């Protein structure tokens, strides 16, 4: 996700020298280094005479305890943004200080192709100017929305943060069904992949709501209606998906403890 954000900023025309990446594995950052992004193996290598305007923690929640404390020295001048699921603002304030300007952001992986959607919540120390900066930085990889409360981030995580995996699973399931019905593996996988990506693009470009788009495919007495009669019977698919999202929602809350 960090690489996706950096590439989005470069595509905006930002100066690569103004983007600093702290990453102990130089190999994983080699593509950004080749584009002129400044690279450091550890935070203590950052130039002492320079103070970053924004620090983004683009790491897994499990390593936040190791990563965050090294940046506390910037708390008086810098806005911090974290994309780590489950790590609350209170958690970050405990390490960075109660006066630190902190934003929690939940993006998703389509950010890698500038088609992501992200939601965020800021603590009271984040100024209106810093909010605008956050807007600009995150909109480089897709849509951006502010939340009314931090508690909503768990729902966003479950729906859109984890959501791409649900869509990819649907593509897998379509392909497996095609194979069982006699199609070759390559063709079945291609049908699943392009059906999902094409439908997503239609959904993206169309001005019609999703119910109308579904109805447009569904002829009375036809093949689609036959399939939907099973998927929609007793809200079968809706209930299954909601139960799955509930599990993701619960896990997001558990990560905070």
Q: What is the C-alpha separation between 153 and 88, in angstroms, rounded?
A: 10
pLDDT at 94 over 90: yes
Quickly tell me which residue has 């392909």 as its tokens. Answer: 175
- Give tens-digit pLDDT for 161-215: 999 999 999 999 999 999 999 999 999 999 999 999 999 999 999 999 999 999 9
Question: Tokens at residue 120, please?
Answer: 């965020």
Class in CATH terms, 163-254: mainly alpha
Show me where the domains of the chain are located.
2-157, 163-254
Residues 6+ apart with CB under 8 A from 110: 116, 117, 142, 164
Write phi, then psi, for 232 (nearest 5 degrees): -100, -5
Residues 155-158: contacts with CB under 8 Å, at least 24 apart? 155/249, 156/106, 156/119, 157/85, 157/86, 157/106, 157/248, 157/249, 157/252, 158/245, 158/246, 158/248, 158/249, 158/252
> Who wins on pLDDT, 257 or 225?
225
Number of residues in the chain:
257
pLDDT in tens, 72-81: 999 999 999 9
Question: Which residue, among 61, 74, 53, has the nearest Cα to 9 in the 3D structure?
Answer: 53
Count of beta carbons in the 10 Å neighbourhood of residue 70: 14
Structure-token pair, residue 109: 């992986």
- Euclidean distance between CA atoms 138 and 102, whole angstroms: 15
pLDDT at 88: 94
Q: d(Cα 146, Cα 144) in Å, to the nearest integer?
A: 7
**According to the CATH classification, is domain 2-157 in 3.40.50.720?**
yes
For residues 108 and 119, the answer to whether their CB atoms sit within 8 Å is no
Contact 80, 102 (CB under 8 A): yes
- 2-29 pLDDT, tens digit each: 999 999 999 999 999 999 999 888 787 8
Residue-wise pLDDT for 16-71, tens only, equals: 999 999 988 878 788 898 999 999 999 988 888 888 999 999 998 889 999 999 99
Residues forming a β-bridge with 21: 39
Residue 49 is predicted with a pLDDT of 80
Measured CA to CA in angstroms, residue 30 lies from 24, 37, 39, 201 at distances of 12, 9, 9, 31
């Amino acid at each position: 996700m960090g690489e996706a954000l950096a590439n989005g900023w470069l595509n905006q025309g930002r100066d690569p020298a103004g983007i600093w990446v702290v990453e102990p594995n130089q190999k994983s950052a080699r593509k950004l280094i080749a584009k002129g992004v400044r690279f450091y193996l550890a935070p203590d290598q950052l130039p002492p005479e320079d103070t970053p305007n924004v620090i983004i923690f683009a790491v897994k929640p499990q390593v936040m305890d190791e990563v965050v404390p090294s940046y506390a020295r910037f708390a008086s001048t810098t806005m911090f943004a974290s994309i780590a699921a489950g790590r609350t603002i209170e958690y970050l304030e405990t390490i960075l200080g109660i006066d630190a300007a902190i934003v929690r952001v939940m993006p998703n992986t389509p950010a890698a192709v500038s088609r992501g959607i992200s939601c965020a919540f800021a603590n009271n120390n984040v100024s209106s100017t810093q909010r605008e900066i956050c807007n600009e930085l995150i909109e480089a990889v897709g849509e951006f929305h502010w939340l009314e409360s931090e508690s909503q981030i768990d729902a966003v995580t479950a729906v859109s943060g984890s959501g791409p995996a649900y869509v990819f699973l649907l593509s897998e399931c379509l392909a497996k069904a095609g194979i069982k019905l006699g199609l070759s593996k390559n063709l079945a996988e291609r049908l699943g992949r392009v059906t999902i990506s094409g439908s997503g693009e239609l959904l993206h470009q169309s001005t019609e709501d999703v119910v109308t788009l579904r109805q447009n495919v569904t002829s009375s007495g036809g093949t689609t209606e036959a399939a939907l009669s099973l998927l929609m019977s007793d809200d079968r698919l809706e209930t299954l998906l909601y139960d799955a999202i509930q599990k993701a929602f619960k896990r997001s809350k558990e990560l905070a403890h």
